Amino acid sequence: MLIMVTFSCKKIRDDLLPVGTSKLYCQSILNPDSAIRVCVGKSTGILNNEKAYVVDASVLLYENNIFIDTLSNETNGKYFSAIKPSIGKEYTIKVIKDGILTGSTIIPDSTKLIDPEIEFPTGYDAVNQQYYGNLTFTIDDNTSIENYYEVVIFSKSYYTTDNKYTYQYANDPNYILVPDKVVQNEGDWDYFPSTVFFSDKLFNGKKQTLSFSITSGSYIINGERFSDLSYIGYILLRSISKEYYLYRKYYTRHAFNSQIHDDGIQNMLFTGEPLDMYTNVTGGLGVVAGFSSTISKIKGHK
């Protein structure tokens, strides 16, 4: 199974900046399976139609404080290096453009994912007219360091015409009805996160089994809804850097309070003041973070 990590440059809003003022930003999420890419741009106000990307910066890459490459500009502020980062090493990205931006992260080692499986069905959700099951998996946590994780669940999505399927994300509260207590302890679930992320604060250095009440996916025939184990897919466990973890926490709250939702009705409801985004970039804005991952097929049984 091929899991792709998408990379894009997004316009960063900074509505609190005075008119005509902008800040330079860089953002890059590094992992050992992909060549390094960096986005460079300028933050702009919500009503500013100026192009946000920067195409004439010098972007330098360092490994354990040793210079190893100058990134080339691909298009629209995306800079590329053919180098793939290595686990355990620190990478620093330096952007030179009307000043200097610097961000660093260490690529964490992947963590063993043990026995992901779902028992289905274990109950029925009368409100949404679908069955749900109990997904469990075990993490073998490294005892020597503080660790952070992100879980991405994939379920099958069938085409109705010829029974072909793809895999789709199944991580938000529409799929996960009740997350594990470790996730609940993070305090993020009420903000509708798009993935599951957490630290090892409650189980540092131990093997921890996590349990989720989750729908398996469903389909409708002649007005009747069906759910079965054929929708079960894969689970991806990312060992993420602290910068990645903090970025996800800040972004989740920011997106919720800024009404950044796919649901048009939610966009009409004011949910709170937008929050400042996390940054570990000195001299500007943005984030430089890293992860490594392990993927496993979810076993299903009734």
- Are residues 50 and 153 located together in one domain of the fold? no
- Are residues 47 and 133 located together in one domain of the fold? no
Higher pLDDT, 254 or 3: 254
Does any domain span residue 244?
no
Higher pLDDT, 147 or 161: 147
pLDDT at position 67 is: 98
- Minimum mean pLDDT range among 118-132, 229-243, 256-270: 256-270
Which of 10-24, 116-130, 150-164, 196-210 has the lowest average pLDDT? Answer: 10-24
Confidence of residue 18 (pLDDT cuts 50, 70, 90): very low
The pLDDT of residue 254: 86
β-partners of residue 286 are 26
Tell whether 22 and 103 lie within a shared domain: yes
Average pLDDT over residues 75-101: 96
Model pLDDT, residue 19: 47
Range of the domain at 15: 7-107
| Cβ neighbours around 268 below 10 Å, total | 9
Q: Are residues 95 and 137 in the same domain?
A: no
Displacement of CA 145 from its chain's centroid (Å) = 22
The CA distance from 177 to 181, in Å, is 13
Q: Is the predicted pLDDT of residue 37 greater than 80, yes or no?
A: yes
User: Of the given ranges (9-18, 72-81, 214-223), which has the lowest mean pLDDT?
Assistant: 9-18
Q: Are residue 205 and residue 99 in the same domain, yes or no?
A: no
Same structural domain, 89 and 126: no
- Extract long-range pairs of 272-277: CB within 8 Å, 24+ residues apart: 274/15, 275/250, 276/250, 277/12, 277/247, 277/250, 277/251
Q: Does a structural domain hold residue 288?
A: no
Q: What is the mean pLDDT of the chain?
A: 82
- Give the CATH number for residue 25: 2.60.40
Q: What is the pLDDT of residue 142?
A: 85
- Our count of domains for the chain comes to 2
pLDDT in tens, 190-245: 999 989 999 999 999 999 999 999 886 555 445 554 555 556 789 999 999 999 99
pLDDT digits (tens, 9 = 90+) for 136-147: 999 999 877 899
Residue 2 lies in a domain: no
User: Are 87 and 205 found together in one domain?
Assistant: no
From 107, 136, 170, give the residue that closes a domain. 107
Average pLDDT rounded to a whole number, residues 57-75: 97
The predicted structure's pLDDT at residue 160: 57
Give the model's pLDDT for residue 285: 92
pTM to 2 decimals? 0.84
The answer as to whether 256 is a domain residue is: no
Contacts of 151 (CB under 8 A, 6+ apart): 171, 195, 196, 197, 235, 236, 237, 238
Which domain-ending residue is among 90, 107, 124? 107
Which region among 29-38, 125-134, 287-296 has the lowest average model confidence (pLDDT)? 125-134
Residue at a domain's end among 55, 78, 107: 107
Question: Given this model, what pLDDT does residue 260 score?
Answer: 55
